[in-house]
Structure 1
């Protein structure tokens, strides 16, 4: 029971991280210092997808699931198991990745504009 709860909590944290990677840049519009943390999160997400580095959250969830008497997550990982084919069709994976990249880019562009305006206003 304890391991199952740990697996569930880890899955929820993983989902929150994925959402943060995609949309966390918008938080920096209000909380400027979070842009550095978001940059690190995006870099990790990029490396884990492009290079295939295993995510420690996936490993933790798999470990907890096995200890709780369930099967481990497949080696393809969290996104492939919980999102691809469930939330969106597998055929849309490229479109979803492109939309995620665009969302990050828009949030960072908005951050840059807001920061520029803030500096301009404080200089006058």
Structure 2
């Protein structure tokens, strides 16, 4: 039971991580300071996809599932096991990764535009204006 719980928890954390990578930049539009949380999260996701690093959650999930008597994700990672062929067809895997990157870029561009417009429309306070 414990090992199954470990495997399921790792899978849920994986899904949450992927959703936050893709959509977390839009959260920064409401709470701009969360950009500093999203930056390393998105950077790590980019490195996993470009360099080929393995996510530690994949190892945790496999460990939990194998010790629970289940099959793990095998030789593929989380995305290839749960998303490719289920959410999008295998032949569109690169397109899905590019769209995830575009989502991050658009969300960050929107945040920077929002910050720039806010600073541009905020009047400067001169020393004589201060109480």
Alignment of 1:52-63 (within 5 A): 52-63=52-63
Give distance in 2, aligned partners of 1:75 and 1:123: 57
Q: CA deviation at 1:37?
A: 1.2
Alignment of 1:20-99 (within 5 A): 20-99=20-99
Regions of 4+ moved over 6 Å: none
Instruction: Give the structure 1 partner of residue 117 of structure 2.
Output: 117
Q: CA deviation at 1:72?
A: 2.4
Give the TM-score of the pair, scaled to structure 1: 0.94
Give distance in 2, aligned partners of 1:14 and 1:99: 18
Give the TM-score of the pair, scaled to structure 2: 0.89
5+ residue gaps, structure 1, are none
5+ residue gaps, structure 2, are 125-131
- 3-state SS of paired residue (1:71): coil
Higher alpha-carbon Rg: 2
Q: Aligned residues, how many? A: 124
